[in-house]
Amino acid sequence: MSDPVGIGFIGAGEISILHAKAVKQIPGAKLVGLWNRSPERAKERAEWYGCKRYETPEELVADPEIGAVFVLTDLDTHLQYAKLAMEAGKHVLVEKPLTATVAEIEEMRATAERMGVVCVPGFNMIHEASIARARTLIQGGDVGKVVSCYVMYNIHHSEERASTLPGMVRHILAHNIYTMNYLVGRPTRVTAFKAMRHYEALDKEDLAMVLLELECGGIAHLCASFAADDLSADPWTFMVKVIGTAGTTRYTYQDWVEAKKGISHSRVYTAYQETITNEDRYFVDVCLKGGAPLQNLDDAMIVQKVIDGVEKSIAEGISVPIV
């Protein structure tokens, strides 16, 4: 195919800004148009991005110019809009968190198989060159046996911003679990904790930490926090580290920082945009060339099972097996 694949956005919130920037950098893709439940925001963002604005999501998926749809809405509508797009014959990328339950992911997967289209979970953190290099080393045994895996996120968000998100477990911890699973494999047991340390008016956690026993025999420690920035000399803003018996890998946001305000962050972490761009480029390549995504809906189901285990561990104060 010589023509670029036409992309449509269902949802035009803040994450759409990053995806719009990404699509512009991909020669094989073109943002055709968008729909958003708020017409005012839809009009504003369509003008920003220089694309069409649709009156309904049904109108968007019916447009023959669109070959793929990015579902960028709230968690509770992801399955609805992903199915709408797939049943119109469109390939789909669904932003995280993917769905609320394993059953919804199974329904998403069944629809993709029935319609013969690609449906990819939008976990962008694995689309980073340093993470890909780390996976190669780990999978090749070059760092020896995995001893421990750390995925740490400590970036303060305002209470106003946090109010639009589903809490640390669903919003950020899902990313951390996905990254861990990609690097060191699936977990077998989880113990989890959450806390509210900064927000006063929200009934949502701003801190979650988990310990996981891994199938490979190692242990993982994951942290997701909006409560405070890490102001130390070597901050765990976003940091991934795997320690093995014969080597170590490490990746951090702090290696590329721009001294200007980000969308949600106090500074621009350059690599974050790059992961979105890489993710979208990879998705377009899969749509065009028929390749395999880095991770699929089966992997997303593993992540959702861990999330379910995390929530059960927190609610009951127990260690939960992941089956």
Identify the three-state secondary structure at position 196.
coil
CATH 3.30.360.10 fits 128-267+304-321, yes or no: yes
Helix (H) or strand (E) holding 85: helix 78-87
Per-residue DSSP letter, 254 = G
Q: Please indicate whether the domains covering 5-122 and 128-267+304-321 agree at the CATH topology level.
A: no
Does the pLDDT of residue 194 top 70, yes or no?
A: yes
pTM for this prediction:
0.93
264 has pLDDT over 90? no
SS3 (DSSP) at 250 = strand
Mean per-residue pLDDT, 297-322: 96
- Burial string for 121-150 (b: 16+ CB within 10 Å, else e) reads bbbbbbbbeebeebbebbeeeebeebbebb
**What are the sequence ranges of the domains in the chain?**
5-122, 128-267+304-321
Give the pLDDT of residue 25: 95
Which DSSP category does 76 fall into? G
Q: Which of 17-21, 39-43, 94-98 has the lowest mean pLDDT?
A: 94-98
What pLDDT score was predicted for residue 160? Answer: 82
Closest Cα partner for 194 from 311, 272, 95?
311
Looking at domain 5-122, does it have CATH number 3.40.50.720? yes
Average pLDDT, the chain: 94
Position 108, amino acid: M
The percent of residues in the chain predicted with pLDDT above 70, rounded, is: 99
Residue 263: Cβ within 10 Å count: 13
User: Using CA atoms, how far apart are residues 151 and 173, in angstroms rounded to an integer?
Assistant: 9
126 and 178 Cβ atoms separated by less than 8 Å: yes
Residue type, 70: F
Residue 88: how many CB atoms within 10 A of its CB?
18
pLDDT band at 198 (very low <50, low <70, confident <90, very high): confident
- What's at 185, amino acid-wise? G
pLDDT-derived band of residue 164, with 50, 70 and 90 as boundaries? confident
Mean pLDDT for the stretch of residues 272-301: 90
What is the pLDDT, as a whole number, of residue 82? Answer: 98
Tell me the β-bridge partners of 208.
194, 224
Please, which pLDDT band fits residue 155 given cuts at 50, 70 and 90?
very high
Q: What is the mean pLDDT of residues 149-174?
A: 88
* Average pLDDT value for residue range 283-292: 87
267/231: higher pLDDT? 231
